[in-house]
Amino acid sequence: KNGDIIWVEVSIKYRYNADGDIEIVGVSRNIEKRKKAEKQIEFLSYHDQLTGLYNRRYYDEDLKRLDDEKYLPLTLIMADVNGLKLTNDAFGHRVGDILLEKVACILKNECRAEDIVARIGGDEFVILLPETDAKNADIIIKRINAAIANEKMDNNILSLSIGIAIKNDVSEDINDIYKKAEDEM
């Protein structure tokens, strides 16, 4: 009535009326709530519930897309939160969660819009920087390190181990690039 566009489901069937003419009977129902629930489920299937960053599933799928010549050089940054287990043991998992949320926020804020930031494990993060050489990747890493150094947390020191590797040639295996970043970290 008000001109808004809404999702509907329409079911129709043909039948013969009393005079033998074909008529169409249809029912439509508003499925806005179902579509919103589907979007929420899709969001959760590709995002980490705690941090809101992309999750391992999204990372694995998007890495296949980015492993293409048009995105070279492709920089992969791995980051691991130092001392998360100690924090969880000493102060509880809620404090550890706050630590992870802060790291996630910093990583997201210090990266560009086209960069992919994902939490792929308990305290592990991966950043994919398409069309990014070593010089530009270093700028982003310096921004991340500066933001980490400026972040204050009660009773905790925020610290990351960071490793970087760059795929410059299409013939390089992306798994080897991942391993290099992991080794450097």
- Distances in Å between the alpha carbon of 64 and those of 131, 173, 180? 15, 11, 18
CA atoms in the 13 A half-sphere facing the CB of 24: 6
pLDDT value, residue 163: 98
* Residues with pLDDT less than 70, the chain: 155
What are residue 53's phi and psi, to 5 degrees?
A: -75, 170
Q: How many helices (H) and strands (E) does the chain have?
A: 6, 6
pTM confidence score: 0.84
91: closest CA among 103, 81, 99? 99
Give pLDDT, residue 65: 96
Q: What is the maximal distance between C-alpha atoms in the chain?
A: 84
